[in-house]
Amino acid sequence: MSGNTFGQLFTLTSFGESHGPAIGGVVDGCPPGLSLSEADLQLDLDRRKPGTSKFVTQRKEDDEIEILSGVFEGKTTGAPIGLIIRNKDQRSQDYSKIKETFRPGHADFTYQQKYGIRDYRGGGRSSARETAVRVAAGAIAKKWLKERLQVDIRACITQLGEKMIPITDWSAVNSNAFFAADSSMVEELGAYLDTIRSEKNSVGAKIFVQAVNMPIGLGEPIFSRLDADIASAMMSINATKGVEIGSGFMSVAQKGTEHGDEITSKGFKTNNAGGILGGISSGQNIEVNVAFKPTSSIPQDRQSIDRAGNEVEMKTTGRHDPCVAIRAVPIVEAMLALVLIDHVLRDRAQNKEVSRMYPFSV
């Protein structure tokens, strides 16, 4: 388990570097009989794609995915699903100067130390380009969860740098460049990011992700609790620094009377738990916040060292996002979908005989 496989029963094994011939992966454990074609994966890939607005990297790629196996006559067969996306716009020349130096905030230093060798072009394996494969695999999971269990997964940005973004209208999310659930904020956010970019700087963001119409009973105590696996999934995304379930860090200052969600015959009265009790889904919405750090690559001189240990000044030029987290919205959704489908399969393996008599509609 060298870290490139995610999940236990519905697994994604990922490969590929930013500037190698291709990225791709293998999805194993997908139940048979799901209608699936490349078009089903392309939608989320396009949402994540670079070059879609001036606020994300201008690298132009089609991110065109090919399904290599596991689908026959339009349906999944239970066999592993091979996925590949060829890298097209590689411009390796841009990156040759970082061969000998370590960019601050990047993984250059740690990859070099860990492996004694690194593909330095565009960050190599540590590039966020790898997440395209997760989005593709996540799209399979989302489709199955939606079709079989009517589960909906949706995410939006709720904080961009200093700007708080309220959730007023989920339908707005996919029609603005910031995945904001409030159209009235869009202009302000655009102006804000323009300023950040003109200052040759970057900011972080916070993403909120929710699963609606959740089945009860997902999560394997004690170490593979649903919240533990969600935390791992989110923290495995590039640039994440924090994860909260439900009321998260706010819980610290809450009183017991305030936090513990009371139950009525109609359902839970509040959702401080974020839909998870004792590591098991309660049927309420799963609610998660994820913190992303500001883009590390900024076009300003920053202090660093080279491989020989000499001090250098380096500035990162080239195509980069002023806020990496903008494109992370479909990635966050994908990772949640991968966790949920895995736990559906795990739960029914052990508990197929259990009939769940939820005493109320949520």
Residues 214, 281: contact at Cβ < 8 Å? Answer: yes
Annotate each residue in 152-191 with x if it binds a copy of itself (CB under 8 A) or - if it does not, as one string. Answer: -------x-xx-----------------------------
Is 304 annotated to bind a ligand? Reply is no
How many CB atoms sit inside 10 A of residue 149's CB? 14
Q: Which residue, 176 or 284, has its beta carbon nearer to a copy of itself? A: 284
Is 267 annotated to bind a ligand? Reply is no
The footprint of a copy of itself on residues 315-344 (CB under 8 A) is none
Is 281 annotated to bind a ligand? Reply is no
The helix (H) or strand (E) run that includes residue 292 is: strand 286-292
Provide the token pair at 11.
């697994």
Please report whether residue 210 would count as binding a copy of itself according to CB under 8 A.
no
Name the minimum Å distance from CB 307 to a copy of itself.
Answer: 8
Name the minimum Å distance from CB 21 to a copy of itself.
Answer: 5
Handedness of CA 335, 337, 342, 343 (dihedral sign): positive
Segment contacting a copy of itself by CB under 8 A, of 43-51, 55-63, 183-191, 302-310? 302-310
Q: Ramachandran region of residue 306, left (φ > 0), alpha (ψ -120 to 50) or beta?
A: beta
Name the minimum Å distance from CB 232 to a copy of itself.
Answer: 4
The footprint of a copy of itself on residues 20-49 (CB under 8 A) is 20-26, 28-33
Name the minimum Å distance from CB 205 to a copy of itself.
Answer: 6
Residues 31, 87: contact at Cβ < 8 Å? Answer: no
Q: How many residues in the shown chain lie near a copy of itself by CB under 8 A?
A: 162
Q: Which residue, 37 or 175, has its beta carbon nearer to a copy of itself? A: 37
Is 92 annotated to bind a ligand? Reply is no
Can you tell me which of 136, 245, 326, 340 binds a copy of itself, judged by CB under 8 A?
245
Please report whether residue 361 would count as binding a copy of itself according to CB under 8 A.
no
Can you tell me which of 137, 193, 230, 340 binds a copy of itself, judged by CB under 8 A?
230
Can you tell me which of 55, 176, 295, 329 binds a copy of itself, judged by CB under 8 A?
295
Phi, psi of 130 (to 5 degrees): -55, -30
Burial class from Cβ neighbours inside 10 Å (0-12, 13-18, 19+) for residue 150 reads: exposed
Cβ neighbors of 209 (< 8 A, separation 6 or more) are 153, 154, 155, 286, 287, 288, 290, 332, 333, 336
The footprint of a copy of itself on residues 119-148 (CB under 8 A) is 119, 124-126, 130, 148
Please report whether residue 97 would count as binding a copy of itself according to CB under 8 A.
no
Q: Are strands 81-86 and 71-72 parallel, antiparallel or unpaired?
A: unpaired
Please report whether residue 93 would count as binding a copy of itself according to CB under 8 A.
no
Q: Which residue, 101 or 176, has its beta carbon nearer to a copy of itself? A: 101
- Angle subtended at Cα 290 by Cα 20 and Cα 126, rounded to the nearest 5 degrees: 15
d(CA 219, CA 225): 5
Sequence length of the chain is 362
Spatial CA neighbour of 123 closest among 102, 149, 140, 154 = 102
Segment contacting a copy of itself by CB under 8 A, of 41-49, 53-61, 183-191, 258-266? 258-266
- Angle subtended at Cα 84 by Cα 81 and Cα 89, rounded to the nearest 5 degrees: 165
Name the minimum Å distance from CB 274 to a copy of itself.
Answer: 7
Can you tell me which of 90, 279, 318, 319 binds a copy of itself, judged by CB under 8 A?
279
